[in-house]
Amino acid sequence: MHDASRWAELERILDQALELPPGEREAYLETLSRRDPGLAVEARRILAASDATDGILDRRPPGPETLAPGADGRPDGTNGARASTIPDRIGPYRVLGVAGHGGMGTVYLAERDDGQFRARVALKAVREELASPFLVRRFREERQILASLVHPGIARLMDGGVTASDAPYYVMEYVEGTPIDRYCDERRLGVEARIALFRQACDAVQHAHGRLVVHRDLKPANILVTDSGTVKLLDFGIAKLLDPGAAPAGATIPGVRMLTPEFASPEQLRGDAVTTASDIYSLGVLLYGLLTGRLPHDVTGRPLHEVARIVTGREPARPSAAVTRAPEGGPRAAAPAAAEAVAAARGLTARQLRRRLAGDLDAIVAKALARDPERRYPTVDQLSADLGRHLDGLPIGVRRESRGYVARRFLRRHAAAAAGVAVVVALTAIFGVVYARGVARERDVARRQAARAEQVAAFLVDLFDRSDPYVVDPESASVTAFLASGARRLEHELVDQPDVRAAMLQEIGTVYQNLGRFDTAARLLGQAYAIRRGEPTTAPRDLVSSLVALGKNEVLVGREAAADSLLRRALALGESRLGRSDVLVGDVFQELGILHLSRRDYAAADSLFRRALAVRRAALGADHPKVADALVGLGVVARGRGDLPAAEAYHRAALAARRSHYGPRDPRVAESLLYLALVLHAQDRLDEAERLYRQALELQVAAFGETFQLAGRTRQSLASLLADRGDLAGAEAEYRRATRAQRAGLGPAHPDLGTSLANFSMVLRQEGKLEEAERLARESLEIRTKALGPNHPTIAHSLLALGTILIDRGRYREADTLLARSAERYAARLGPEHEAVGQVRAHQGLAALAQGNLAAAERFYRESRRILDRAGSADHLDEAVTLVGLGETLVAAGRAGEAEPLLRRALEIRRRRLPGGHWRIAAAEVELGRALLALGKPADAEPLLHAGLDGAANPRGGEAETIRRRAAEALATLCDREGRSAEAETFRSAAGAGRIGWSR
């Protein structure tokens, strides 16, 4: 056995040999042979094994194709070439095949089968032909390192022992996954998702460092991502255990395996001591590749000494610059196409990716890749923390020294909610300066605008300074605290600069507006307008801007009369003083269009959005985001009018424009996703709609939290879709979350809450929870009436919900009155042929049917069908509701022959548009079965009735209860007719008591 000094000498020789190019290594070993033949022989054997390394952890874990039995039946996939060296068992493990050969061991795919448990594992054993005392000791050291690492992100050591020939082995968790870079590219993950996975890897590396273990070979092949999105760090075969008790901090035990040149740190390439800083450098290389699709240095295939010269002597390009840089040795003309391909894999254009990486990410990567280890991040945790702060919009540690940078990060973090606080003001001022410089007669305006910009900037910087004498702490300073501080100071500061004070009040008021704090917004916006109106030198543009901001706030709280007055004044002033083609006048058209949308006045809204679109396209260009805003308005109008193909086209165009301009995770993109989902939902394209609802909700909650106004609308739309799918429990859960968040964020009297409560009450009705359903429907009606007035079209929706619930409670006269009022309001605002009127007519038919008034029921159902057909809702689920009700009415009237084709049509629509097992399909099956039974077709009726009975097994209560009762009653009748008395009695007992009918 080697003594300690001889072992250390062997390690020194191996380290030197591994650093040499292959052509120089043989000469070195020849020299060694003349001095110490024994050492040379052992060094040659180990180096040969190292050169042949093909470990399980250097590539994707083998699948069945790589572990298939060879021609001789052995499970090694080598066709017998190495069959004789593969054991059948190692300890309690049955060997399934060879997964790879490491420098000093063989890795087997194995399975424990001793009766204790069954699990596939990766088993590594010392290769017997290389089992020198040195390698056995090194192998045991490796196993000890693995035993010290217990972390969910590190492939865990499960077992260990010795083979029959006393060679040590250990057993690792078998990880099936994809290298992290390939995983990201195959799934086209965005920058944020890539960073999130990278931070998982950082957490695992930090765990190893905390136990004095340096990995030394961090690269994509050793960082796998499972199908569930979990990162697993592999291959500590060349890891080093830092020994602070035996050597100075940072010293390591030299290794015996070749590093990976592309990911090796400068000190590794130079042969210097390896510390945790080397792993941080390798992580920097990995992050660079995940972000840019390329590595910092192109050293593939180069000899090690040349790699060392390049890496230690040349700073890599910044990630943002590397995106569009031509590959080394490649044609420059191909760079743009390559850049676009890389960016597309991250959901961006090349320009957007370059902008996304510039700044924070450039700085973070540069610090991780510093050539001097002392200049890198001191720990992996600090690298990960900076990435986390960047994702949260907080200042990162690398750039903390700049007070202006801290302020910019704070504003960027809240940009979507704040609409840019200072950014908007500053851009307005800068625009004024640039424009005025080109027009000599407006030189005084330029001076005033420049002075205002400087004062605004000074006010904001001072506001941050007062929050913290050194640097603002963004984690403890909430946006509302920041804004409240600014608003309080504006009560007594800048009084000698009224234009600056008004500008700041309006911007802070706009922030509160976008955060849903409408009362505070109204107060601040009102103060800004009062200041401007009282100053004789106020520019007309500023007055129009204030009126638009105030009018928008009134629209958002549902005070339509006040909103109309403010916006009409803004329009008159803007057209007379600025001209009809001015961008700000286009903004007035847009807000007036939104006001008319809230009134369901689609003709007026359409005209206003088209005027806004024309102004904005002419003044700003077709790609400007304000053009997308107008397209959104036109899409909402088209959906309201029932022109769903046009609505879809408008919303897809707006979504593409917003994604291009803002990036894929902006809240304005979420808004477009919501509107597009609503159109798809209306077309019964439920899978597509649900996916978009969930995407929109994720973005909205991430940006603003659950109480954000649009998040509430999205969640209640998702709940409505789940109800349409038949998932009433899921719908109820989403409605409860939506209404709870809306009460907290919007208050108890907001119209949006009224909408959610009305829809929620209809789900509760379907579940049979009639008392709570009635209470919420009445609350919805009260909220909407107080906020919007008794004649607002949305009142019709609450009346419809309450009327339908009262049918189920047996209060028919009250229900008739409410439904009639609902139809009148819809007809008065939307026209008598609107599909909303057709939907109410179907519910009026239900009420008449429940009272036994078959003539009235038939009249209402036929009118509903006619209206829906003219409105373009034929072949949709709404038509199926009417057809089922009309079919049931005709069967009750003894006209089953007329009912049969109607019910077959309803069943066909529902089977095509709803998921299998939906209770509404069961309803159509039961009614068709009852019609066929009445026509004397029991053989055709029975399977439908059984299918309906089974399909209504869930949900419990409500509509499904009625379906089960009607199916059981019909089956009892059928069995009686056929003399199956026992079965008839069983079905009769199962029928029990049920409700009157269903509305959809």
Cα distances from 58 to residues 215, 280, 400, in angstroms, run 14, 20, 39
- d(CA 662, CA 944) in angstroms, rounded, equals 53
For 771, the enclosing helix (H) or strand (E) is helix 770-788
Phi, psi values for residue 100, rounded to 5°: 175, 170
- d(CA 158, CA 169) in angstroms, rounded, equals 11
**Is residue 707 exposed (0-12), middle (13-18) or buried (19+ Cβ within 10 Å)?**
middle
b/e burial code for range 248-275 (CB count within 10 A of at least 16 → b): eebebbbbbbbbbbbbbbbbbbeeebbb
Task: Output helix, strand, coil percentages for the chain, rounded to the nearest 5.
Answer: 65, 5, 30
| Nearest CA-CA partner of 543 in 525, 556, 562 | 525
**CA torsion through residues 566, 571, 577, 582, sign:** positive
8 A C-beta contact, residue 202 and residue 279: no
8 A C-beta contact, residue 912 and residue 877: no
Long-range contacts at 635-639 (CB < 8 A, ≥ 24 apart): 635/675, 635/676, 635/679, 636/597, 636/605, 636/675, 637/597, 637/602, 637/605, 637/606, 637/609, 639/675, 639/678, 639/679, 639/682
Tokens 């075969």 found at: 237
8 A C-beta contact, residue 505 and residue 525: yes
Q: How many CB atoms lie within 10 A of CB 795?
A: 23
8 A C-beta contact, residue 606 and residue 636: no
Written as six digits, the tokens of 895 are 């006209």
DSSP letter string over 259-287?
Answer: --GGG--HHHHHT----HHHHHHHHHHHH
DSSP letter string over 166-186?
Answer: S-EEEEEEPP--EEHHHHHHH
Q: How many CB atoms lie within 10 A of CB 212?
A: 16
8 A C-beta contact, residue 108 and residue 95: yes
8 A C-beta contact, residue 354 and residue 322: no
8 A C-beta contact, residue 523 and residue 483: no
- Quick check: helix, strand or coil at residue 160? strand
Catalytic residue among 76, 181, 217, 587: 217
Tokens 């605004």 found at: 456
- d(CA 633, CA 647) in angstroms, rounded, equals 10
| Nearest CA-CA partner of 217 in 256, 156, 167, 261 | 261
For 157, the enclosing helix (H) or strand (E) is strand 157-162
| Nearest CA-CA partner of 945 in 961, 918, 915, 965 | 965
Annotation says 166 is catalytic? no
DSSP character at residue 749: T
- Quick check: helix, strand or coil at residue 235? coil
**CA torsion through residues 988, 992, 994, 996, sign:** positive
- d(CA 146, CA 422) in angstroms, rounded, equals 53
DSSP character at residue 54: B
What's the CA angle centered on 365, arms 362 and 371, to 5 degrees? 120
Q: Active-site residues: which are they? A: 217
